Amino acid sequence: MGPTWLKDAIFYEIYPQSFQDSNDDGIGDIPGIIDRLDYVAGLGCNALWINPCFDSPFMDAGYDVRDYKLVAPRYGTNEDLVRLFREAHARGMHVLLDLVPGHTSDQHPWFKASAQADPNEYSARYIWTDEALWGMEGRPYIAGMTERSGAYMLNFFASQPALNYGWLDPYKHWMSATDSPEARATIEAIKDVMRFWLDLGCDGYRVDMADSLVKGDDERKSATCAIWRDIRAMMDRDYPDAALVSEWSNPDQALCQAGFHMDFYLDHQRNGYNTLLRDYETKGGDHSYFRCDAGGSIRRFLDDYLPKYERSRGRGYISLITCNHDTPRPARTLSPAELKLAYAFILTMPGVPFIYYGDEIGMRYLDLRTKEGGYQRTGSRSPMQWSHGENAGFSTAPADQLYLPVDASPDAPSVEGQWADPDSLLSEVRRLVALRHAYEDLQADAPFAVVNDDEAAAPFSYRRGALLLALNPSSRERRLDDALLQGRRVVYRIGGAALHEGSLAMPGQSFVVLA
Ligand code: GLC
Ligand code: CA
C-alpha cells in the first residue's frame, strides 16, 4: 500500500501565492510558508501539498511550468524549498510538490526547441502534426504561430502544449506509438524531474491531470496506467517512503491500475462528493447533504462512494477534500455550524483527508476578477486570513499590491479571531484532527461500514473499526436504538448528543463518536 506515514496523514494544501508573504512584495512565498509551519503543525496537519512553485509565466497560476527544476523567483530559491523540506521534517511533516506531467508552458525550452523548423532533440517531445494548414483530429490545437510547419496539441489552456507520451493506436504517421523512442524519452524526462526534488528531500507528488498522458487511450486508460506503473516501480525501488496522489477521481483506474497511493475524489457534477457540499449546479436546487434541511440524503454519496471504496480497499486511498484551488470554497453556501459537521465527516472517513488552507476558519468564496488564468477559481485563492490587522496579516505590502485582495468584509474570519475560542470552527477542526490521530480506527485503513442510512427517523450512522459514529445535519431530532450502542461511551460530540440506556438521542445539527 505504500509509505506507512500515509496511514495517519492529514494533509494541508497550500496555494503558495496566498499563504504568507515574507518580503513585503504582496505575494506569498516559501520563507512565508516556513514561518507558518508551526501553525500548520498546531492544527495537527502532518503533511503538506504545495501547488506548483516552479518557474513559470503564470498563465495558469504555475500549472504552466517553464522550468521544472527551478523555484519561481517570486517564491524564493531552490535553497528555500530545500529548507522547507528540512523544517517540515523536523516537525514530523511530509511535503508533496505538484507535478505537471501532461504539459509544459509554451515558454519551456523544450517547447521552444520543438517549435523550430530544424529537427532537433525536442522535435517529438510534444504532439505535432506535419502540416500547419490542417487541424488535429478534432482535438484542441494551435497552428500558425511557429516556424515549424505543424499544429501542436493543447492539454489545457492555449499556453499549455501537450507533452508526447504517444497514442494508444496511432493511425496517422505523425502520431507516435507509446513504445516509440520519443514517448519513452518524455517518460524518462518526467522521471528525471521527479528524482530531482525527491533527491533534495521532497516526499512525493500530487500529480496534475494524471490521466491525460497517452492520447487516444482506451476507456480503461490502460496505456496511461502502464506509464504510472512504470513510475511507481521506480518509486518503490528508489523512494519507498515517497507518496503519489493523483488528480484523476477514478479510484478503479488510479489506485487499482495505475498504482497511485491516493486518488482525489473531486467535485464533479452529481458525483457522490458533490452531493455532500456543492450540489448547487444542478437543476432543481441545492440538496447538499450538509446544508441543514436542504432535503439532501447521504445515500446519494454512498451510492457513488461505496462501490469505489470496496473495489479499491487495500489498493490505495480515496482522498476526501474540504476544497482545493479549483473548487468553490465550502463556506460559499455552508454556515460554520454546517461546516463543522461536514469536516467531522471528512475527517472520520477512511483514506487520506486534505484540508485546503483557510477552510479551517471558514474562509469565504470571493467574487474576484480573474488572476493568472483562475477565472471563477480565483474566488477560492485569496490571501490567508491570519489576523484582524493590516492585509489580514498576510503581507505588509500596500493593499493594492497584493496578489489578490483579502476578504474585506468586517466579519471576515481569521485565525486570530478563532484560535482561543473553543466554539470556533478552527477549534473544532483542531479537535477533530487530534481525534483522528488518537484513534487508529479513524485513520486511513480501518474499515468503514454503514449502520443506518435511512434518515427518516434515525441518524446516519457508521462504523470505523470498533467505533460507532452518528451524524445528524438536519434541524430535527433523531434517535438511534441499536444493539451496537450497548456498553459504549461518548468520546467526541458536536451539539448535545446524549447516550442514555442504550438509546442515542441526536438533536438537530449534531455529531457523535462512540467507543
Ligand atoms: C489541474 C489543476 C488546475 C490546472 C489544470 C491544468 O486541473 O488543478 O489548477 O489549471 O490542471 O494544469
Ligand atoms: Ca513575497
Q: What spacing in Å lies between the alpha carbon of 63 and ligand 1's midpoint?
A: 6
Nearest bound ligand to the CA of residue 383: 2
State which residues have CB under 5 angstroms from ligand 2, the bound ion.
21, 23, 25, 27, 29
**Ligand 1 center–CA 373 separation, angstroms:** 10
Measured between alpha carbons, how far apart are the two ends of the chain, in Å?
A: 27
Instruction: Provide the b/e sequence for 272-284 (b: ≥16 CB within 10 Å).
Output: bbbbbbbbeeeee
- Res 122: pLDDT: 98
In this prediction, residues 433-462 reach a mean pLDDT of 97
Q: What pairs with residue 467 in β-bridges?
A: 464
Under 8 Å between Cβ of 160 and 60: yes
Over 90: is that where the pLDDT of 98 sits? Answer: yes
Residue 336: closest CA among 494, 479, 492? 494
pLDDT tens by residue, 159-174 = 999 999 999 999 999 9
pLDDT digits (tens, 9 = 90+) for 36-81: 999 999 999 999 999 999 999 999 999 999 999 999 999 999 999 9
Ligand 1 centre and the CA of 328: distance in Å? 14
User: For 25-58, b where at least 16 C-beta lie within 10 A, e where not — what string?
Assistant: ebbbbbbbbbebbebbbebbbbbbbbbbbbbbbb
Q: Copy the grid coordinates of residue 444.
A: 486511513
CA–centroid distance, residue 75 to ligand 2 (Å)? 6
Residue 478 corresponds to which amino acid? Answer: R
The verdict on the CB of residue 13 being under 6 Å from ligand 1 is no
> In angstroms, how far apart are the furthest CA atoms of the chain?
82
User: To test the ligand 1 pocket, which listed residue (58, 63, 212) has its Cβ within 8 A of the most ligand atoms?
Assistant: 63
**What is the whole-number distance in angstroms between the Cα of residue 60 and the centre of ligand 1?**
8
| Cβ–Cβ under 8 Å, residues 470 and 455 | no
Q: Do the beta carbons of residue 132 and residue 151 sit within 8 Å? A: yes
Strands (E), 342-421: 354-356
Nearest-ligand number for the alpha carbon of 22? 2
Q: With a 6 A CB cut-off, is 100 part of the ligand 1 pocket?
A: yes
What is d(CA 10, CA 33) in angstroms, rounded to the nearest whole number?
A: 17
Find, among 263, 306, 298, 262, the residue nearest to 279 by Cα: 298
Q: Which helix (H) or strand (E) holds 462?
A: strand 460-464
Residue 208 Cβ contacting ligand 1 at under 6 Å: yes
Q: How confident is the model at residue 392 (pLDDT cuts 50, 70, 90)?
A: very high
The pLDDT-based confidence of 140 (bands split at 50, 70, 90) is very high
Over range 259-288, report the average pLDDT: 92
> Could you tell me whether strands 11-14 and 141-142 are parallel, antiparallel, or unpaired per DSSP bridges?
unpaired
- The ligand whose atoms approach the alpha carbon of 35 most closely is 2
The 8-class DSSP code of residue 290 comes to T
Q: CA 249 → CA 2, 77, 320, distances in Å?
A: 19, 33, 10
Ranges of beta strands (E only) in 311-421 are 317-319, 354-356
* Closest atom of ligand 1 to CA, residue 63: 12
Burial group, residue 431, by CB count within 10 angstroms (0-12, 13-18, 19+): middle
Element housing 96 (H / E) = strand 94-99
User: What is residue 284's predicted lDDT score, i.e. its pLDDT?
Assistant: 80
Nearest listed ligand to the Cα of residue 32: 2
> Residue length, the chain?
515
Other Cβ atoms less than 10 A from the Cβ of 333: the count is 18
Share of the chain above pLDDT 90, in %: 97
For the CA of 155, the nearest atom of ligand 1 = 6
Evaluate: CB of 247 within 6 angstroms of ligand 1.
yes
CA 203–ligand 1 middle distance (angstroms)? 21
The three grid cell numbers given for residue 27, joined into one nine-digit string: 505575494
CB of 326 closer than 6 angstroms to any ligand 1 atom: yes
Report CA(21)–ligand 2 centroid distance (Å): 4
Q: Quick one: pLDDT at residue 269?
A: 86
Residue 154 is classified by DSSP as B
Q: Looking at the predicted structure, is the pLDDT value of residue 1 above 70?
A: no
Cell of residue 210, nine digits = 494524471
- The residue to mutate among 156, 163, 207, having the most atoms of ligand 1 within 8 angstroms of its beta carbon, is 156
Nearest ligand to residue 74 Cα: 2
Mutate to test the pocket of ligand 1, among 205, 211, 326 (most ligand atoms within 8 A of CB): 326
Indicate whether 406 pLDDT > 70. Answer: yes
Beta carbon of 245 within 6 Å of any ligand 1 atom? no
pLDDT of residue 410: 94
Which atom from ligand 1 is nearest to the alpha carbon of 103?
Answer: 12
Res 270: pLDDT: 85
